[in-house]
Structure 1
Amino acid sequence: MKITALEPKVIWQHFDAINAIPRASNREEQIIDYMISFGKSLGLKTFVDATGNVIIKKPGTHGKEDHKTVVLQGHLDMVHQKEVTSNFDFATEGIQMYVDGDWVKAKETTLGADNGIGVAAIMSVLSSKDMEHPPVEALFTIDEEKGMTGAMALTKNQLTGEILLNLDSEEDDIITIGCAGGVDVEIKGSYDIKLLDAKEYELFEIQLNGLTGGHSGVDIHLNRANAILVLVECLKELTSKFDCRLHSMNVGTLTNVIPRNGTMVIAIREDKLSALPHGFQSIQSKLQKKYEGTDPKLSITSEVTENATGVLDVQTQKSVIDAILNLPNGVFSWTQGVEGLVQTSNNIAIAKIGEGQVFFACHSRSSVDSERDMLVKLIRDSFSFAKVNEVGPYPGWEPKPDSPLLEIAQKCYEEINEFPPKVESIHAGLECGIIAGVYPKMQMISFGPNILGAHSPEERVQLSSVQKFWKFLNKLLQTIE
């Protein structure tokens, strides 16, 4: 079935259009141009600021011209991730979507439902000719997935709305009213390359594939394997059994993604090679057993690679292993009094080692600033041999459970679904906290359809949930006065 034939057709047609356009974080030029043309084609006031955020304004429909202006907000960028075996080129190809029962999925890549469905819903409001709504300011931000620089660049004179509906949530029975803040932590160091005698060593490339991965906020509590930790665990075992030396490591691309695969190149002495197959099989079995509940497809393979003699010195290799294995990863603490809500977490996201340079990156999240600072200090202490910097910190979004907007939203939801929504804060980062800093009087909620597997090639969005989400958005816009 064609995506554009799904209901509601208007959303899927817009989603299909934007999914044909490459829109990675920091590379949104094409989607920005498309949105500007889209707004102008409707005869609506359309603006783009110096950062690349696009704002499109539409008057209220008959009888609602003087109602409170509503800001509909979503982000234009998406996470580009694909299966290791895929030849898909995000820079030139549109996402290849297909329908599987009640779900829309992508072939071997992320789908872009995060936040493409929210963007498509806003576009549907803007292009509608028959739905009732108050004055609308559509805010399409850039770079949400990587640095939230679009939201951070907003100024107080760009929007006039008193209400903001963020359409970047991923569970259709929840209205979100708060979220954690976060920061990227970058670790940079250098080492003296140790040259080995190529006649005495054989080089092997270790390839790790098949991990589940996921969103470093939404999925962090699920204890899924982290590719960096798995490879470093493997390195530690190989070092203790075979005195192996690390040549290089390459894992991860984005800090808000739990890394799913990676490689490292190691050197093994020729006199140890006969015992390597059995030893490696033992390590592989041990790791597969450890993660069988969360990552049943975990696969570690090795193959001889070209000779290269430059490796880390013994002390640097030990320091890297100790630092990574001592580093907090996953849930650091839970929110007291709120069952199941993570308070503070850390995702070890990127590891690049080679040619005398060491680079690691983490994403640390917390709803408590002092605890986030504590976590960053632990990272800094673990990497005493390197330089540690905080990059792009963003604030959390403080919940306001007594908001009049929330009361309206709860009533609308229950009228449509005949049961009340859950009202929650989440551990993932949303742009609402940043926007609230610029517009402190603006009332805000976030909601969206069911999206699973965000930030991984397993990403999918539920058809029936999109229909439910669209009805709720319509009802809410009709009700807000």
Structure 2
Amino acid sequence: MQSLQSTSASSVWSYFSNICAIPHPSKHEQQLADWIINWAKENNISCIQDNIGNLILKKDAAPGYENKTAVILQAHLDMVPQKNNDTEHDFLTDPITTIIDGEWLHADNTTLGADNGIGMAACLAVLADNELKHGPLEVLLTTDEETGMTGAFGLQADSLQGEILINTDSEQEGELYVGCAGGINVNVSLPYEKMESTPSDKAYEISLSGLKGGHSGCDINLGRANAIKTLASVLNNFDAVPFHMAVFEGGSLRNAIPREARAVIVCDAQYQNSLEIIINTLQLNLCSEFKNAEPNLQLSVQSCDLPASILTHQSQTNLLNSLLGCANGIFTMDNNFSDVVQTSSNMGVLTQNNSEQSSFDIQVLIRSQVEQEKQIEAEKIAQHFAEHGAAVRKDGNYPGWTPNKSSAVYKVMEAQYTELFDQKPKTMVIHAGLECGLFSDKYPHWDMISFGPTIKFPHSPDEKVHIASVDKFWQLLTATLAAID
């Protein structure tokens, strides 16, 4: 990132480069946390790690700002580990390779980690810069935000003394976020029965790939294909081919729209030609259906080894019906904010447990700005799978963040944005889970706001950050800190 050092946010890019060099996928952030702890010690910055893994760093006010309101800057330590299927990358050991592409920075066929690495880098840059004007300052870097908000759940109510929290985890420059969706997981274990395959039959792997995926909240309104749901629909169109299913799996994260799915089916060899014709026809149909959202969609079939066991007809029918009947996507829109989704669901993961207690394990994430709607839709989905014989468990419930119409920090940041860029920012609610919702339970007196640079397609290998927006993000952050009374 050497060529980015000439921008006004050069210090942010420098720290982001360090962050990219250290593996930090969700639940494996300690290596990065250790680096920050050592960095803080070298720079005489107070830093502690709490018993859940969060880092809390503190810095005294700039001279003359000792009596200003104490501020907390907040980001999360972890990143979503997603890569294209043909990409060799180990998120536990390999650094993120960054590529400058015109106005954008992206990674080499993996997630970039700008979500929330840019925000984290900005927090460190503020701590390191002794020329900036600000009151008493705390930085909270939470652990495991992407897979369970573990750090926010485990944060102790007496850990911080600040009164204003600035969250850096939003992803559209020019928008100030004053609220967010809450979420809840529906975890499904659908049992199935199996039987031995017929030795004379042939096996075929059917794969759906090339989908864009993306953030299951921010990108749920883009009309993208859900690989699990779409492949289930494909298999449901095999009327002309009597088949048995042996394998079905797809997706990898509950909070990412699944980009890939595959199934292994078994049928008599006489149906191979019919199968290939059906796949080719369905490929054309899907390309037409998703022509704008999924230009690289690829449905393919190829021969594979015959599996030892297959699903019984009843179990196969039950699985497909349960997947096809599960509501997925947008339920309602937010009437208070233009083009903002209010309630949605994402079937993010389907794995197959082929042990003695055979089951298909499914993870669905429901999001909503309205708590009652969230619970109602989660219960509907839970009941749907229960009616198909599944064991269902709901967990990971976290609250949304209700907008504060009298927010003082919002008024300060709005004024600074207008002065810096000669236009007013948009006031927004994000259809994603920010930790602000959990913080408001433990620190109800906090005045909170969220903002960030422009990051496109987070939670997918297409993730990229707009370089110029990071400059504006940095200018607004430093101006806001200086202006808070």
TM-score after normalising by structure 1? 0.97
CA distance in 1, matches of 2:54, 2:229: 37
Alignment of 1:79-478 (within 5 A): 79-199=80-200, 201-238=201-238, 240-355=239-354, 356-383=358-385, 384=387, 385-478=389-482
1: CA distance between counterparts of 2:133 and 2:191?
60
The aligned length equals 479
Deviation per residue, 1:269-321 (Å, 9 max, x gap):
22322322212211222222211121010001111111113111111211111
State how far apart, in whole Å, the 2-side matches of 1:401 and 1:172 are.
21
Contact 2:21 2:95 in 1 (8 A): yes
- Cα distance in 2 between the residues matched to 1:361 and 1:241: 31
Aligned residues of 2:337 and 2:428 also touching (Cα < 8 A): no
Q: For residues 228 and 315 of structure 1, what CA distance do their matches in structure 2 show? A: 20
Bigger mean CA deviation after superposition, 401-410 or 342-351: 401-410
Instruction: Name the SS of the counterpart of 2:339 in structure 1.
Output: coil
Deviation at 1:337, TM superposition (A): 4.1
Question: Whole-Å Cα distance in 1 between the matches of residues 6 and 348 of structure 2?
Answer: 36
Shift of 1:33: 0.9
Asked if 1 retains the 8 angstrom alpha-carbon contact of 2:69 and 2:484, the reply is yes
Indicate conservation of the 8 Å contact 1:248/1:352, yes or no.
Answer: no
- Does the residue aligned with 2:478 lie in a helix, a strand or coil? helix
Closer, same or farther: CA 203–3 of 1 in aligned 2, 3 Å: farther
Identity among equivalent positions (%) equals 37
Offset of residue 336 of structure 1: 2.5
Q: Is the 8 A contact 1:65 1:135 kept in 2?
A: yes
Tell whether the 8 Å contact from 1:106 to 1:457 is kept in structure 2 after alignment. Answer: yes
Is the 1:22–1:94 contact (alpha carbons within 8 Å) kept by the matching residues of 2? yes
Contact 1:198 1:308 in 2 (8 A): no
Tell me how far apart the structure 1 counterparts of residues 461 and 436 of structure 2 sit (CA, whole Å).
Answer: 26
1:294 partner SS: coil
Q: Which moved more, 1:173-182 or 1:338-347?
A: 338-347
Q: 1:231-252 CA deviation, whole Å, 9 max, x = no partner?
A: 10111112x2212211112211
Contact kept, 8 Å, 2:98 with 2:107, in 1: the verdict is yes
Q: Hey, what's the Cα distance between the residues in 2 that align with 1:3 and 1:393?
A: 43
Would the aligned equivalents of 2:454 and 2:469 in 1 still touch at CA under 8 Å?
yes
Q: What secondary structure does 1:393 align onto?
A: strand
Say which is worse superposed, 270-279 or 43-52, in terms of deviation.
Answer: 270-279
Do the aligned partners of 1:367 and 1:396 also contact (CA within 8 Å) in 2? yes
Residue 4 of structure 1 and its aligned partner are, at CA, apart by 5.6
Structure 1 residue 6 displacement after superposition: 4.7
Q: Look up the SS of the partner of 1:461 in the other structure.
A: strand
Partners of 2:100 and 2:262 lie apart in 1 by 33
CA contact (8 A) 1:3 1:16 kept: no
Match of 2:71 in 1: 70
Name which of structure 1's ranges 285-294 and 250-259 shifts more when overlaid on structure 2: 285-294
Over 6 Å off, 4+ runs: none
Change (3 A) 1:451 1:421: same
Secondary structure of the corresponding residue to residue 433 of structure 1: helix
Question: 2: distance between equivalents of 1:391 and 1:2?
Answer: 44
Inter-CA distance 60–244: structure 2 relative to 1 (3 Å threshold): same
Counterparts of 1:338 and 1:43, CA distance in 2:
44
Contact in 1 for aligned 2:337/2:429 (Cα 8 Å): no
Query: Deviation at 1:338?
Result: 3.0
Q: Assess, with a 3 A threshold, how the Cα gap between structure 1 residues 430 and 3 changes in structure 2: closer, same or farther.
A: farther
Query: Which residue identity lines up with residue 436 of structure 1 in the other structure?
Result: S
Q: 5+ residue gaps in structure 1?
A: none
CA shift, 1:196, in A, is: 2.1
Q: Please tell me whether the aligned partners of residues 61 and 132 of structure 1 are also in contact (alpha carbons under 8 angstroms).
A: yes
What is the one-letter code of the residue matched to 1:396? G
CA distance in 1, matches of 2:353, 2:6: 48
| Structure 2: gaps (5+ residues) | none
Q: Any idea what SS the aligned residue of 1:125 has?
A: helix
Change in CA separation of 1:266 and 1:354 when aligned onto 2, cut-off 3 Å: farther
